[in-house]
Chains A and B, each alone.
Chain A
Amino acid sequence: MLLGVVLSLYHFFLYIQDDFDYTVCCKGMYMEYRETVSFVLNGIERKLETKRAWTLLYVLREVYQLTGTKYGCGTGDCGACRVLIDNVAVNACSVPIHKVDGKTVLTIEGVAGDPQLSIIQQAFVEAHAIQCGFCTPGMVISAAGLLLHISEPTEKEIREALKDNLCRCTGYVHIIEAVKLASNKMKEVEDGH
């Protein structure tokens, strides 16, 4: 608990310093340590022996080779590394791995296997919401985080839900349309059409 508070504080300090690191949160604060973290990753139970205060992003990309989650800035400002932790969209670059102990993590690779959430991916393709695609996994995750909580969001709610995800290609127009389309499609499925 205390560790968590200290980490969070230090984490915040680093955050405002723009000095995050891809590999580890809390650089310089901890020497090597060992901790076992258990979590469910894309439906599979994982037990990981962490040697450092690794970021969740580092673990996903380098330990599990789930490279669909992108490194865009490392400072929690672009959303390219978004994943769902217990159905809430968060930036994996800003989460120390021990924070996911006992939690459920879903990455873009896991979305395809979810019949409900994969509807979002279909909608992104159909709405021409994908250009370079680097922000796409994070956008899909943010959309999933929204639609899991608000099934029929207003445009304003969609814009708010995506505001932590930067995109430089699309002006967000087709992405917002994709989220609306996904919401409609999910509703149709729910209504049994």
Chain B
Amino acid sequence: MGIDNSHDTVGCSPYNRESWDKVTGNTQYIDDLRFKGMLHAALLLSPHAHARIKSIDVSDALALDGVHAVIHCFTTPNILYNSAIRFYSDIDPSEMPCTERVFDQEVKFVGDRVAAVAAESEETARTAVKLIHVEYELLPSVYSLDEAVADAAVQATPFGISKTNLCGGWVAYGNQDEASVLQTIKQSPLQSVSTFRTSRVHHGYLEPVAHVAHYTPSKKLTLWTSSQSVFSFRDVLAQLVGLPQNAVRIIKTVSGGAFGGKLEVMHEPVVALLSMQTMRPVKIRLNRKEVFSSTRTRHEAIITLSSGYASNGRLIAQHVYSLLNTGAYAGSGPNTVGAQSGKTFVQYDAEAMYYRGACFYTNTPIAGAMRGYGCPQLMVAREVHMDGIARKLGIDPVQFRLQNLLLPDAKNCMGKPTHQALGRVCLEEGAKQFCWEERRKQAIAKSSGTTRYGIGVGTAVHGSGWYSVYQDMTSVTMMMNNDGSLQILTGIHDLGTGAKTVLAQIAAQTLHIPLDTIEVIEVDTAVSPLDLGAQASRSTYVGGNCVLECAQQIKEQLLEEASLMVGIDEQQFALGDGDVIEMVSGKRISFASIIDSAQKGLHGKQRQIAAVHSYASHTSVYSYSAVFAEVAIDVESGAIKVMEILCVHNSGTIINPAQCEGQVHGGVQMGLGYALSEEMEIDLETGRIKNPSFKGYHMFRSHQMPKISVTFIQGAEPSGPYGAKGIGECATDGVAGAVVNAVAHALGGVSIDHIPVHATYVKELLTQNYRVQ
């Protein structure tokens, strides 16, 4: 008989489960939490880029009415930690150097923590901060990446390897040794070398960083934070405050945007220590200027690509040399290099490839995880480099890429399987939809007067989870309620991306139950099973697989109990439309009656229908994209207007198309800013950020956005939940490359060597290179 599975939702677009609370203003973000007796904290941030604190006088601050505590480097634990750990044992100094302290006697960038105040109101706390008197001994500092990597550079921190600014160590590997790869390039018929610089950008999440800590007389610490990885936060916090992990509870609040920027421990230890000192709940909420100066940023990069190739456009060998600016502390710097290195080998095919990269300390704000994690830097540098080769050879950029992108179901130069590497399909489909060849010609033809048009393309690739660079796993707990509805406890962090909705869809599909009978309960170290955080585009792929397998266990338990109840083999049953169905007779048994039977032990072992499942990801799969862009440039002002963007993505089966599209749209907005407008400008005299506000830091606004079209090349990934792969990071990786290549096209094939491409740079390019085609 046919089974009605009207509750199957994979491939449909149910609304984000958090929408109604958010759209009515009912959602409580951290700053909206109110606790009885709550104090407010404010930070004193270093005005100097590098200095040693000789003394701190807090007497005036403490004397201010309403001030309860002031803490600083002379009153807090002197424990070194790394804010970006994932596993508890992540202490390898080459990957996770411990360089941070809650307060350090040596401040290393403008915005580093010097002291903190807890007071009755935010205003009082901020007033008290101004009454703290600090005596500094100024130390030499280094701000630019160029200076930091130079021989005999000023040491930004004491942690650089061998008295340099090298952080962690070099990541260097390829399918042959470096000398051989360089030799192959040299012996190739043609060679190209180009160096590209990418700027330091900020995540620009709308919710400012905020935390609340509450330590009570029972010696337990609870901390609310908009974290992307509560378990690693717990590990760091417990160590810093000297409590066992059971006494430290981290609750993830609804995230007001994160994009990697809330993956690393920030000021949580400060509020924890203030709460322990005052025995009151303590909240901190940074203002926007503080968010820019003392949170995390994307790594600034200088990437040099060298390629050897044949005159027919076939890539023979490629060498990537990447330098990243990790800022004042290590954090995830070495890991970002590692993650970037992996992307070298999974996009294009060549006989020989080699990656060499490292990050370096400077006396500038801390760089950290940000959507793409090293990949956007490499993708934009490489896609501009590849366009340069195509131009040199006089080959169409799409054709050139089609010749060199990896093939599916093959092996890359490292001998690793490429699985569903559908980058070429994305590119071909996009070229067709965008009318690439025609528009490429038209752009030149329609350029007249002061307006120049250009068409560009960029491709990108991103993983779904950490494997095989690192181990990856997550766990899920599922419990059937008495009425047949389902509780899912997950460590997967929903950052507003709709991860909870997707997980519910996967559970609904597996158990054939309505979405609204599934509750997904988000992350709290006291109740959630272990997860490693919202990162690496892993929520749908790793989290989804875990939910799928856990739901299958629930299904087995339901069928087993039904079999005991009816007395026929469990193979004779199936799930359908919210019931267990005896397939021959069509007789339905409700989940509620099966659950009742199990709980009372009426037919078998007395038990709860529940499962705890760990999923370890052991497949390294990649998502692919091809992005097409049209720009119009006003040659008088240098202003660039992006007219249109087409994104073609392969992320396997799309579980929730509307949400997935939303991810791509957001990725485009971030990529456009990266290409054209966003840059945290550091004053090279003082180390200060020149533009720490949304007025000075230009994120794309609604009226500046182009028309965006999104196409998904479906094709189930066998190892993915219902065939799905990740999307979050791939959504932004390829955008900047396409836009920069479009600008280069509009300007007659100029070589662009850095982003953002500001109007002033366009004018410079025009005077240097402009030629009418």
Contact = CB atoms under 8 A, between A and B. Distances in A.
A24 interface: yes
Interface residues of A, number: 58
Contacts of A172: 665, 669, 701-702, 705
Interface stretch (A29-37, A105-113, A185-193): A105-113
Interface in A61-86: 61, 65-75, 77-78, 80
Interface in A101-144: 107-109, 111-112, 121, 124-126, 128, 130-137, 140
A128 B694 contact: no
Interface string A1-43: 0000000000000000010011110000000000000000000
A134 B257 contact: yes
Contact of B695 (A75, A132, A167): A75
B257 A169 contact: yes
Given A23-B123, A133-B27, A168 B259 contact: yes
A96 B13 CA distance: 43
Interface of B is mostly: loop
Nearest to A71: B31
B497 A168 contact: no
B13 to A, nearest CB: 7
Contact of A74 (B287, B495, B658, B692): B287
A45 interface: no
A132 B23 contact: no
Given A68-B25, A70-B206, A131-B496, A171 B13 contact: no
B694 to A, nearest CB: 4
Interface residues of B, number: 65
A22 B24 contact: no
Contacts of B192: none
Given A131-B666, A171-B666, A176-B702, A67 B204 contact: no
Interface in B23-70: 23-29, 31-32, 34
B208 A71 contact: yes
A159 B703 contact: yes
Nearest to A19: B289
Interface string A133-167: 11111001000000000000000101110111111
Contact of A77 (B23, B664, B694): B694
Given A134-B29, A163-B702, A73 B22 contact: no
Interface string B15-27: 1101111111111
B497 A66 contact: no
A71 B22 contact: no
Contacts of A134: 29, 205-207, 256-257, 496
B440 to A, nearest CB: 25
| Listed residue (A65, A68, A121, A165) with the most chain B CB atoms within 10 angstroms of its CB | A68
A160 B205 CA distance: 22
A19 B252 CA distance: 30
B56 to A, nearest CB: 25
Contact of A170 (B122, B259, B665): B665
B702 A175 contact: yes
Interface in B679-731: 692-696, 699, 701-705, 708
Contact of A168 (B121, B122, B206, B664): B206
A173 interface: yes
A22 B122 contact: yes
A84 to B, nearest CB: 13
B550 interface: no
Nearest to B692: A18
Contacts of A74: 287-288
B659 A166 contact: no
Contacts of A23: 121-123
B203 to A, nearest CB: 7
Contacts of A159: 702-703, 705
Interface of A: 18, 21-24, 61, 65-75, 77-78, 80, 107-109, 111-112, 121, 124-126, 128, 130-137, 140, 156, 158-160, 162-176
Given A70-B31, A78-B206, 19 more contacts: A18-B692, A18-B696, A21-B126, A22-B122, A68-B25, A74-B287, A77-B288, A77-B694, A77-B695, A108-B25, A125-B23, A130-B23, A132-B255, A133-B256, A160-B702, A160-B703, A164-B701, A170-B666, A172-B702
12 contacts: A21-B126, A23-B123, A67-B25, A67-B31, A125-B19, A132-B496, A160-B702, A163-B703, A171-B705, A172-B669, A172-B702, A173-B665
Top-8 shortest CB links A-B: A68-B25, A132-B496, A133-B22, A171-B665, A134-B256, A108-B25, A77-B694, A67-B32
